[in-house]
Chains A and B, each alone.
Chain A
Amino acid sequence: MLNALTDFSFRTPTTIARTPRLYISIRDAETTIQVHEDFSDATDLRAVLLPSTARDHDQMSSLFSSPLDLGRKIGSWLRGFHTWADAPAQESLRREIGRNQPMRKLKHRVNYGNLIGILEKFLDVVGCSSEDMEALQNVRDVADKELARPPTVMGEYWGMIHGDFCMLK
């Protein structure tokens, strides 16, 4: 994936985006070693949006665009990535990433596997009508069915995704 991403170049007059370069990858029966680029001078989005002191706030404001503009840039990058991921040139990469079933199952479990169980701990205070519960079960059932299907085209909006697109490093 990291090697393939070197072909995805995203650059505008006000945004430069990059992904880590892969330096070493060793995978055999005994060992899995990967060495990739570290962006040690970068900070995470949370620290930019939530500076802890007034001084940090001034510094962040002078170094970065506004939260609205940063959001626009990140959204624009994500659209660019999804479009690139959908292109015919990425066919073999999509097949390879499609084999990453363990991570697909992990994401499903975190988001949909525990959904009802967590809410059931708080039923009396959160409030959950029978209609709400039915909707939650439907959401979970759809996600379960989708997980059971092979990683091929399932319609619009389906394809290769980042899978952990969050604001913290």
Chain B
Amino acid sequence: MVERGETRQVDKLSIIDWELAQFGHRAYDLGHMIGDLCEQKHFNDADSAMSCVRGFVEGYGGLTDELAFRTAIHAGTQLIGGYYRRPQRGGVKAPEDMVVDMLRFAKEFVVKGWERDRAWFEGSILAPLFATRMAG
């Protein structure tokens, strides 16, 4: 959540919803946010979301290959799991072909992440995951 800053330069971040705090892999936090942002890019054509992904990874300090692949897998599962969260009827229901497209690239995130196919990711919208290296 983002709160209005008092000046243009200062942003206030409000981090809420802590009830799922748990023991887990850091890629779950990274991949959840990145999956959500990819969903906005896909369904709402929001280029701003992908700028945010790039900044998010940079701000985190970059990722190792291991963390990047695992994050890509989790982002993919987040998108696929999102199938049930999307409206299933009514005016805001997404067209079927858009949903299928989303499932198609989300499945690739999982499969290519498992296969550690870095070249594939570098040509995909998840290229920012591999653009900044985490310091050892």
Contact = CB atoms under 8 A, between A and B. Distances in A.
B123 interface: no
| Interface magnitude class on chain A | 35 or more
A72 B1 contact: no
B27 A157 contact: yes
B111 A136 contact: yes
A169 interface: yes
Contacts of B37: 49, 167
B93 interface: no
Contacts of B9: 13-14, 65
Of B22, B30, B36, B113, chain A has the most CB atoms within 10 Å of the CB of B22
B83 interface: yes
Given A39-B1, A136-B107, A164 B58 contact: no
B67 interface: yes
Interface residues of B, number: 68
B22 A97 contact: yes
B81 A114 contact: yes
Contact of A118 (B14, B26, B84): B84
A39 B14 contact: yes
A94 B23 CA distance: 8
B132 to A, nearest CB: 10
Contacts of A35: none
Contacts of B32: 164-166
Given A14-B9, A67-B55, A68-B51, A45 B2 contact: yes
Interface of B: 1-5, 8-30, 32-33, 36-37, 40, 44, 46, 48-49, 51-61, 66-67, 70, 73-74, 77-78, 80-81, 83-84, 100, 103-104, 107, 110-111, 113-115
19 contacts: A15-B11, A39-B1, A42-B14, A44-B1, A68-B55, A71-B57, A75-B57, A111-B78, A118-B84, A135-B114, A139-B114, A151-B23, A157-B25, A157-B26, A159-B23, A160-B21, A160-B22, A162-B21, A167-B40
Interface of A: 1-2, 5, 13-20, 39, 41-46, 48-50, 62-79, 81-82, 94, 97-98, 100, 103-104, 106-107, 110-112, 114-115, 118-119, 122, 125-128, 131-132, 135-136, 138-139, 146, 151-152, 156-169
